[in-house]
């Protein structure tokens, strides 16, 4: 017999792969990817765990592939409507923003052996912009590796900081400075007083400073490749 409460209840959305993955990414955002299991995901959706396998046959591995692909889908694809530096800059900023929304994804973005469509399309688009700008294959590979190492490394460091706002950063800096006399740590004190504790400090601004430095370096390497010269650099086998 249907009760009045039942008749007024909003019908539940049908279970499908998209709904499963959206619930999984919400669970990971809230509790970390380590909290993700078929049982907990089923509880999140209000269904039996076995019913999930009708939509994600590969179980947790397929879910991880799927939610990583969703994160890649949030990153702006580089556009050929602007020059390669502007395209790479916009793409890097978009990637960092996506990883700030989903910090659990930082260590998973390049780890999947069965990447999804958005993942593959993203990689192909980035390489396409670089190749279209005249980057030789080897330099395009170097550029991609360098940019992603910086993006993921910065995102990881940012996610692990003991502060999230300028006010929290100032409080942490002041607490550290109280622990030791200033004369023992003159350079750390200088950075704290003249940089971190100044109004408007935002650690995130370091991302753009480093990104532009990398892009300027890649531009020099690109120009050298086009002119047939070799840029000065050091390292093994050079």
pLDDT value at position 210?
96
Is 119:72 a contact under the CB 8 Å cutoff? yes
Encode burial over 101-111: b for 16+ CB neighbours within 10 A, e otherwise: ebbbbbebbee
Per residue in 158-173, pLDDT (tens digit) is 988 877 777 877 887 7
pLDDT value at position 20?
92
Per residue in 122-158, pLDDT (tens digit) is 999 999 999 999 999 999 999 999 999 999 999 999 9
Could you give the CA distance from residue 35 to residue 83 in angstroms, rounded to a whole number? Answer: 42
**Torsion angle, CA of 109/110/114/117, rounded to 10 degrees?**
60
pTM summary value: 0.83
Please state which of the ranges 9-23, 126-140, 216-230 shows the lowest mean pLDDT: 9-23
């Amino acid at each position: 017999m249907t009760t009045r409460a039942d008749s007024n209840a909003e019908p539940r959305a049908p279970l499908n792969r998209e709904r499963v993955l959206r619930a999984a990414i919400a669970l990971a955002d809230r509790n970390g990817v380590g909290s993700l299991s078929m049982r907990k995901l089923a509880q999140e959706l209000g269904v039996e765990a076995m019913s999930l396998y009708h939509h994600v046959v590969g179980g947790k591995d397929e879910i991880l592939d799927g939610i990583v692909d969703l994160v890649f889908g949030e990153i702006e694809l580089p556009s050929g409507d602007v020059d390669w530096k502007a395209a790479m800059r916009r793409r890097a900023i978009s990637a960092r923003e996506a990883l700030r929304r989903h910090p659990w994804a930082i260590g998973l973005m390049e780890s999947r052996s069965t990447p999804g469509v958005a993942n593959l399309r993203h990689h192909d688009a980035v390489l396409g912009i670089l190749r279209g700008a005249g980057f030789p294959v080897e330099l395009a590979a170097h550029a991609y590796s360098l940019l992603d190492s910086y993006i993921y490394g910065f995102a990881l460091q940012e996610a692990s900081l003991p502060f999230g706002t300028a006010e929290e950063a100032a409080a942490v800096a002041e607490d550290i400075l109280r622990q030791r006399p200033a004369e023992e740590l003159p350079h750390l004190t200088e950075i704290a007083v003249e940089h971190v504790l100044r109004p408007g400090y935002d650690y995130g601004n370091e991302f753009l400073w480093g990104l532009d430095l990398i892009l300027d370096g890649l531009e020099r390497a690109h120009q050298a490749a086009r002119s047939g010269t070799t840029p000065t650099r050091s390292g093994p086998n050079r």
